[in-house]
Structure formats: C-alpha cells, structure tokens
Amino acid sequence: DTGVSQDPRHKITKRGQNVTFRCDPISEHNRLYWYRQTLGQGPEFLTYFQNEAQLEKSRLLSDRFSAERPKGSFSTLEIQRTEQGDSAMYLCASSLSGRANTGELFFGEGSRLTVL
Amino acid sequence: AQSVSQHNHHVILSEAASLELGCNYSYGGTVNLFWYVQYPGQHLQLLLKYFSGDPLVKGIKGFEAEFIKSKFSFNLRKPSVQWSDTAEYFCAVGNSGGYQKVTFGIGTKLQVIP
C-alpha cells in the first residue's frame, strides 16, 4: 500500500506520559498536515509542513505538542505530559504542491490516543 | 477565518431514497470546496471538489454537489442512495491561495437501511 501510513494505530497511555506518533506520507508529496478529530467533531487543523518547514501551527497546538519533519519525508507528532483532553484521533494527510496540487488531501487511517 | 456548518448530523434513509446534505461556509475570499467521505473502518477520502467553473460538480459513486455563491452553500446530493453509501460525510472549505488550509465541518452520519 503506497498511501499515507500512521503508527501506532492505537495508543493507550496514562496521564502525564509522553507519546509520539509517526506519519509516512505518500512519497512524492511535499506537503504534510496533522489534524485532530474528537468524537462528534470533524477534523481540526493542527499544523502543516512544506518539505521540512513547519509553516503554520494552530492555536490548538499547545506548548505540550511538537511536530517535526526533519528530512521532509516522515513526520512525528509528540505530546508531552498528556492530559485526558488529549484523547482523540490524530490524523495525518499529505498532498502535492504547486501546479500538481489538486487540492485533495490524502489521509492516513489515524492514530487513536486514549489517555487514562 | 474560514468555517463550515453542516446542518444534518445524523440522517437515516431507506435504499433508493434521495439524499441532500446541507453545507454552508464562511470565508472572505475565494474558496475551494470539498466533500470527503469516511466509510466505516476506512480513512477519509475525497468525494468531490469545486475550484472554479461549473458550479455543479460530479464526484464518485453518483454524488454531485452544487456551489451557490450567493448562499455560501455547497450541498451534496445523490438521487438514489444505496446501503453501501452508509458513511460519515464531511464538508470542507480550503482557502484558494498558496496552500490549502482545509477546514472541516462536524460531519453528517448517513445510515442507509436496506
């Protein structure tokens, strides 16, 4: 499968622990997005990368959240000192840019976080 | 800031019934509009999109949507639903510009009864 892959698919952790999620976008896509989805809500934008540069961060992304895309390929999203309110599905999406950009976001299946 | 409002949160239809899901957006500039679908156990995928031109756009699986600029609306329609259309549908708006920051509505769960 050459789509967007996310790991792990499920993570259960205790409050106060740190967690890290990984996203591998479609290989030729230079844009990468992180979204968060809670029950009964649509995906909420967290942050966006063009290659390795993080170009926008939502106010939802508190200081406990950090995202990286060190070589412009895979990305990680780390949550430090997790809180119960962090429980959600974390979605990664990728897309092309420039003239090849059709506007379509290609989503992974998400990483579900449960904070006890 | 852009925002999206979906009117129906949970819709139940019998097979062969017609479907219309409402979507309104707010944004001050030129927008790109999308409907995404999430089938049970699957990832979000694009159903159809509007960038410019003909305001009536057709997507996969017989779905279509009409962009009405004066009403800031982008309603999704299908003349005859099937059980396999059971899914959650998300309307989304993207800013037309250097990059697409896409804002999603809260979604509509469609249940089609055989």
Q: Is A100 exposed, middle or buried (0-12, 13-18, 19+ CB in 10 A)?
A: exposed
> Between B94 and A14, where is the model more confident?
A14
Give the model's pLDDT for residue A102. Answer: 74
Q: What average pLDDT score do residues B9-17 get?
A: 96
What are the tens digits of pLDDT across the range A50-61? 999 998 899 888
Residues of A in Cβ contact (< 8 Å) with B34: 103-104
Residues of B in Cβ contact (< 8 Å) with A33: 102
Mutate to test the interface with B, among A37, A39, A89, A96 (most CBs of B within 10 A): A37
Give the model's pLDDT for residue A104. Answer: 86
Give the model's pLDDT for residue B56. Answer: 96
Q: What average pLDDT score do residues B56-84 get?
A: 95
Give the model's pLDDT for residue B7. Answer: 87
Residues of B in Cβ contact (< 8 Å) with A56: 101
Give the model's pLDDT for residue B95. Answer: 78
Q: What average pLDDT score do residues A64-93 get?
A: 96
Q: Is A3 on the interface with B (CB under 8 A)?
A: yes
Q: Sorting pLDDT into bands at 50, 70 and 90, what band is A1?
A: low
Asked if B68 contacts B56 with a C-beta cutoff of 8 angstroms, the reply is no
User: In whole angstroms, what is the distance from residue B62 CA to residue B81 CA?
Assistant: 9
Chain B: residue whose CA lies nearest to A99? B98
Mutate to test the interface with A, among B74, B102, B103, B108 (most CBs of A within 10 A): B102
Q: Sorting pLDDT into bands at 50, 70 and 90, what band is A71?
A: confident
| Mean pLDDT across chain B | 92
Asked if B112 contacts B14 with a C-beta cutoff of 8 angstroms, the reply is yes
Question: Out of A70-79, A91-100, B36-45, B63-72, which region has the weakest mean confidence (pLDDT)?
Answer: A91-100
Give the model's pLDDT for residue B27. Answer: 82
Give the model's pLDDT for residue B72. Answer: 93
Q: Tell me how close the Cα of A13 comes to any Cα of chain B, in angstroms.
A: 23
Q: Is A97 exposed, middle or buried (0-12, 13-18, 19+ CB in 10 A)?
A: middle
Q: Sorting pLDDT into bands at 50, 70 and 90, what band is A99?
A: low
Torsion of CA A76, A30, B31, B81, to 10 degrees: -80
CA atoms within 13 A on the CB side of B111: 5
Instruction: With CA atoms as reference, report the closest residue to B35 among B27, B44, B55, B43.
Output: B44
Look up tokens 């990728």; give the residue: A94
Look up tokens 């055989």; give the residue: B114
Q: Sorting pLDDT into bands at 50, 70 and 90, what band is A100?
A: low
Instruction: With CA atoms as reference, report the closest residue to A110 among A2, A4, A12, A39.
Output: A4
What are the tens digits of pLDDT across the range B74-114? 999 999 999 999 999 999 998 766 666 889 999 999 999 99
